[in-house]
């Protein structure tokens, strides 16, 4: 499930970059793609915590705090005027994670 969501997000990031190039906004497409990639990291970290034997619920506030700080720093790095595109990409990645989890749960 986690791997599927990450692959979908990576593919969507490539499509965003290509779409940005096609419409003449390469930076915008790249920023949305970056948001997708950053958003795909969160489930991977949760999976890693589970494999290490740690309780992801106990580490969730720290993990989400670090994740939020990274996204805010990336937002400043790409420019405040494009930060909403980054957030859009992160939100899309979270939706992909939710959908892949729902699909996996219905298969069981």
Q: Would you write out the chain's pLDDT as a tens digit for each of its 108 residues?
A: 778 888 999 999 999 999 999 999 999 999 999 999 999 998 888 888 889 998 878 888 998 999 999 999 999 999 999 999 999 999 999 999 999 989 988 987
| Angle in degrees, CA 84, 90, 92, rounded to 5 | 105
Is residue 35 a contact partner of residue 89, using CB atoms and an 8 Å limit? yes
Give the predicted TM-score (pTM) of the model: 0.87
Domain count, the chain: 1
| Angle in degrees, CA 107, 53, 101, rounded to 5 | 20
Burial 22-51 (b: 16+ CB within 10 A, else e): eeeeeebbbbbbbbbbbbbebbebbeebee
Check residue 77 and give its pLDDT.
Answer: 94
């Amino acid at each position: 499930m986690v791997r599927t969501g990450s692959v979908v997000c990576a593919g969507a990031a490539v499509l965003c970059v290509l779409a940005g190039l096609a419409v003449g906004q390469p930076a915008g497409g790249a920023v949305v793609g970056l948001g997708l990639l950053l958003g795909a990291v969160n489930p991977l970290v949760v999976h890693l915590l589970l494999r290490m034997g740690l309780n992801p619920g106990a580490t969730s506030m720290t993990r989400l705090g670090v994740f939020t700080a990274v996204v805010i720093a990336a937002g400043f790095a790409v420019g405040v005027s494009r930060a909403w595109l980054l957030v859009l990409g992160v939100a899309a990645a979270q939706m992909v994670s939710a959908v892949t989890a729902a699909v996996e749960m219905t298969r069981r």
